[in-house]
Chains A and B, each alone.
Chain A
Amino acid sequence: MKFIDKIKEKFFKKDEHSLSVRDERLIARNNRRAMKEFEKKKNRKNVPEEEYLSQMKDENNIVEFEGLKTYFFTDVGTVKAVDGVTFSIPKKSIVGVVGESGCGKSITSLSLMRLVQAPQGQIVDGSIRFAAKDGKVYDIAKMPVSEVYKIRGKEIAMIFQEPMTSLNPVFTIGQQLDEVYELHFNDKDKKKAKEHSLEMLNLVGMAMPENVYKCYPHELSGGMRQRVMIAMALACDPRLVIADEPTTALDVTIQAQILELLKNLKERIDGSIMLITHDLGVIAEMADYVVVMYAGRVIEQGTAEEIFLNPLHPYTVGLQKSKPVVNKKVDKLYNIPGNVPNPVNLPDYCYFRERCDKCVKKCAGKYPETVWVSPTHCVACYRYAERH
């Protein structure tokens, strides 16, 4: 999909995006320089801890993103996949992140894990504060890679979108689960590892854990693989689980089971979940807080009630209108007109302006500031600027 977009950009919309050979060379040179600099910073050794220790703004949060910018240095220019994202994940809560495809949800979560595809993808600015088990607060965005292992997989676990391809095809489920135990409990005892893995499989509702333990991933169905992924996340005993569209690839009945499982998971680890999805139904069912993203930025956030009962941003309103509702007859599903803007050359005005049907005069100006309409509810839109 992304490749096709690139081709289209290159060949069909020549007038808009065509780059001269000189531009291309310039981009390539700048990219190389930027990537080298960031990689060097990432791979430093013996960095004093003070450099990446930080303080939480609010003790009740487990994660605070502040002004996070993650860019990709590509041949057609710098893709601002995440461009100044600020939100937080309170302890013991489920935060839903919604938005259209390509708005930067996955990249935000991968930045938190420091798994953005290097060397093209780099966190260029901002901070990600994480309250770790040891009582310290780490700024993950500034940690050198060697230190990230303290957190990745141990305190934050991740469940991915594609259960079909997210498990290694040449190892059995057992081998892949045991590995987690061995790593995190620092225990090479095979028997204990197996015991622990079987317990995890049992917890995620596998009918015959012993059998599944011996299976290769291709011998399981999509739903079962996603259960294995959840078991794997559970085995780490993390404080935060990132679930990146955990149900998108599954059919509806399995979806409900997996969501139920995630809720149980949250109870068990007594931690938080960052739930990424573009399905508002899932959000309504699961989330305590909702973050709405658009073109790499947060445009509205609030508690689930606030977002569902009182959506403010025209985009959020559009999203809700485009969601099918049971028991309500509609002729045609609503569809937000237009497309997400090209993330290479983002303009300095509201990114939603071309698609917005509620424009006001001020919208011609710069990108709107974030306005707090309640202690938990904020929105980036000029329609609410004057009132507060």
Chain B
Amino acid sequence: MPRLNTDFIQMIKYVIKRLALSVLILLGVSLIIYALIRIQPGLDFVEKKYQAQLQQDSTGQVAELVKQIQATYGLDTNIFAGYLKWLSNILQGNFGDSFQLSVPTGEVTYIEIIGPDGNPILTPKYETTSNVVSIIFAKSGVSFIIALIATVLEFIIAIPLGIVSATKQYGVVDYTVTVLAMMGISLPSFFLGALLLKVFSVELGWFPYSGLTDPNSGLPVIIDQAWHLVLPILVLTMLSVGGLMRYTRTNMLEVMNSDYIRTARAKGLSEHSVIYKHAFRNTLIPLATLFAGILPSLFGGAMITEQVFSIDGIGKAAYTAVVNGDVPFVMAYCMFLSILTVIGTLLSDIMYAIVDPRVKLS
């Protein structure tokens, strides 16, 4: 705990310094990501879109058109010039429009159309936007809910099991935990996802296949949605729990073998206080590093899992954007993740200082 006022001031100074440094980091990261998307092999977004016409084109007119469209998308410049253009747009607060995605803004305008009887009818038109920031905001909600529940479950399951498996080393729990953890770590998410779909949706029919809602289910909307989220959350939890369990176990074992635990035992403390008072606080120290990764994983979506379960979250959006070479969206998405990572690292440093009195931020 920062005990003194001076500690607190130190901490503020440290945070400011770190934030200033992160601006530099973000610049570097954005350049690298931009370059990586642009050198992606294959056709770019416009070429892909007009691929069929290009092949039938004998006059060169379509090629001409493609060039023009490429210019409007900023795909005709070299990588560095393109990057500078992107950067200057960003600095002006203009994050750009996605080439392919759009989300409803929620606004409705009414336009008049002439009906079959010759009278004008007011028809609602739902406005959409392709602004990348709006897309990210609109799509990360569902991803966040899935990730939040999965992360909470992960911690609730993994940390106690990791501790038990360390304190009862070579016991039944320990072996079970080790085997399950290995399975969780080595199974790819698409495989586990497909497996669960096959068993629980196709064969048993307990859970829906895909998407978020089913108008025919006859359930209240919220329950219907929760029902749809069970399998994706299960996949995410099963995959992440193993690693955290092993990590907790390793840390706990190290702590349990340390001299101060022997001292605590020599004092005559019960095994329960030794583990849950003296050892537990010390196992938390390395767990603080995990905070760095939690933030991006909470908001960043799960590309593959969302794809498998056809959930319209930010992970799926990012996946299609990458596949289609949607430069503005991929850039915005990656920057979003980078900022979350930078903040996450900072938070984990602060956590460190809170749980470990030996660490001073400076």
Interface set of A (CB-CB < 8 Å, partner B): 113, 115, 117, 119, 149, 152-154, 157-158, 160, 162, 165-171, 179-180, 183-184, 216, 218, 229, 232, 236
Contact = CB atoms under 8 A, between A and B. Distances in A.
Given A119-B170, A168-B278, A153 B260 contact: no
A167 B170 CA distance: 28
B94 interface: no
Contacts of A183: 267-269
Nearest to B282: A170
Interface size class of B (residues with CB under 8 A): 20 to 34
Contacts of A113: 266
B263 A170 contact: no
B85 interface: no
Contacts of B285: 170
Contact of A218 (B264, B267, B278, B357): B357
B259 A160 contact: yes
B266 A169 contact: no
A169 B356 contact: yes
Contacts of B358: 169, 216, 218
Nearest to A164: B259
A216 B282 CA distance: 14
B268 A170 contact: no
A253 to B, nearest CB: 24
Nearest to B261: A168
Given A115-B266, A168-B264, A162 B357 contact: no
Contacts of A179: 267, 269
A169 B263 CA distance: 12
26 contacts: A115-B262, A115-B265, A117-B257, A119-B169, A149-B268, A149-B270, A153-B269, A157-B267, A158-B263, A160-B259, A160-B262, A165-B258, A167-B260, A167-B263, A169-B356, A169-B358, A170-B281, A170-B356, A180-B267, A216-B357, A218-B357, A229-B263, A232-B263, A232-B267, A236-B267, A236-B268
B355 interface: yes
A169 B270 CA distance: 19
A171 B265 contact: no
Most A CB contacts (10 A, CB to CB) among B266, B269, B285, B357 go to B266
Contacts of A171: 278, 281
A153 B265 CA distance: 8
A169 B267 contact: no
Contacts of A168: 260, 263-264, 278, 281-282
Nearest to B266: A158
Nearest to A156: B266
A171 B260 CA distance: 11
B357 A170 contact: yes
Interface string B130-143: 00000000000000
Given A179-B267, A236-B268, A169 B262 contact: no
A153 B268 CA distance: 4
Contact of A162 (B259, B268, B278): B259
Nearest to B268: A153
Contacts of B169: 119
Contact of B268 (A152, A167, A229): A152
Contacts of A184: 268
A15 to B, nearest CB: 32
B129 to A, nearest CB: 50
B257 to A, nearest CB: 8
B267 A160 contact: no
Contacts of B262: 115, 160, 166
Nearest to B284: A170
A149 B269 CA distance: 8
A166 B170 CA distance: 26
A312 to B, nearest CB: 35
B260 A169 contact: yes
Given A117-B257, A169-B260, A216-B357, 7 more contacts: A157-B266, A166-B262, A168-B264, A168-B278, A168-B282, A171-B278, A229-B263
Contacts of A165: 258-260
A169 B282 contact: yes
Interface string B106-135: 000000000000000000000000000000
A160 B170 CA distance: 28
Interface string B266-284: 1111100000001001100
B52 to A, nearest CB: 65
Nearest to B271: A145
A110 to B, nearest CB: 8
A157 B257 CA distance: 19
A115 to B, nearest CB: 6
Nearest to B260: A168
A168 B263 CA distance: 8
Contact of B267 (A119, A153, A162, A216): A153
B234 to A, nearest CB: 35
Interface in B223-264: 257-260, 262-264
Contact of B263 (A117, A160, A218): A160
A157 B268 CA distance: 9
Nearest to A114: B265
A154 B266 CA distance: 9
A157 B169 CA distance: 27
Given A162-B259, A168-B278, A152 B356 contact: no
Nearest to B269: A183
Contacts of A157: 266-267
Contacts of B281: 168, 170-171
Given A162-B259, A166-B263, A168-B263, A154 B357 contact: no
Nearest to B355: A170
Contacts of A119: 169-170
Interface in B163-188: 169-170
A38 B84 CA distance: 71
Contacts of B278: 168, 171
Contacts of A229: 263
Interface string B305-348: 00000000000000000000000000000000000000000000
B272 to A, nearest CB: 11
Most B CB contacts (10 A, CB to CB) among A113, A169, A183 go to A169
